[in-house]
Amino acid sequence: MNERVAATLREDSTMARLIDRHGRLTIEPAADEFARLCTSIVNQQLSTASAAAIHERFVDVLGGAPTPDDVLAADEVALREAGLSGTKVEYLREAAAAFRDGDRDLTREGFGDASDEAVVAALTEIRGVGEWTARMYLIFALGREDVLPLGDLAVRKGIEQVYNDGAELTRAEMRNIGDAWRPYRSYGTRYVWAEYES
């Protein structure tokens, strides 16, 4: 996180406290966008601990970081035994096919100048990739700095915890809070997650 990002976020006194507590967090593009998408698919609707354990076993089954070819060739029984549901195996294979055979380059290069909404639209054409997964991809695969993924339960609960003593807020109210972090809402999101999970 550079000085400009820190200065912008510190204009929000609550966020300034989170920066002091959690140090400098970063938003950087992933070295391997497909592997990062697999992580998000594995993590769908799971607790952080469960997701981490299943992801580790998934990587073990593949013998290393996931590639489209490895995911498509992997034994379904072994993937299921790693803790993936049949549906998630299908979703991972759909993503692998889209990366390998699709008519669009889904990497950072391929998305180049595409808007966040265009990226979300392209990714959600893949069966099993919904809005949440696409927003995680924007942040963690593409390194986009201004994403506020209110589809994420931990983000919503975290904002309520940090900004409203745990009391409920509407999404409009949350967007309003996040507006103070522009154009670095992905960083604000990371701090909310860090606080919520601590």
Q: Give the predicted TM-score (pTM) of the model.
A: 0.90
What CATH number does the domain located at 3-27+148-197 have? Answer: 1.10.1670.40
Please provide the DSSP assignment of 143-190 as one string.
--S----TT-HHHHHHHHHHHHTT----HHHHHHHHHTTTT-HHHHHH
What ranges make up the beta strands (E) of the chain?
Answer: none
Rounded to 5°, the CA angle 178-119-125 comes to: 120
33-141 shares the fold of 3-27+148-197: no
Burial 130-150 (b: 16+ CB within 10 A, else e): bebbbbbbbbbbbebbbbbbb
Question: Do the beta carbons of residue 144 and residue 116 sit within 8 Å?
Answer: yes
Domain ranges of the chain: 3-27+148-197, 33-141
CA atoms within 13 A on the CB side of 87: 6
Secondary-structure class of domain 33-141 per CATH: mainly alpha
Mean pLDDT of 104-114: 93
Question: What is the H or E stretch that residue 86 is in?
Answer: helix 86-101
- Specify the pLDDT at position 46: 77
pLDDT digits (tens, 9 = 90+) for 137-146: 999 999 999 9
Q: What is the pLDDT of residue 1?
A: 81
How far is the C-alpha of 134 from the C-alpha of 15, rounded, in Å? 25
In this predicted model, what pLDDT tens digit does every residue of 126-183 receive, in sequence order? 999 999 999 999 999 999 999 999 998 889 999 999 999 999 999 999 999 999 999 9
C-beta of residue 54 within 8 angstroms of C-beta of residue 42: yes
Q: How confident is the model at residue 195 (pLDDT cuts 50, 70, 90)?
A: very high
The answer to whether 117 and 138 have CB atoms below 8 angstroms apart is: no
In order of 35, 89, 173, the CA distances from 26 in angstroms are 19, 30, 25
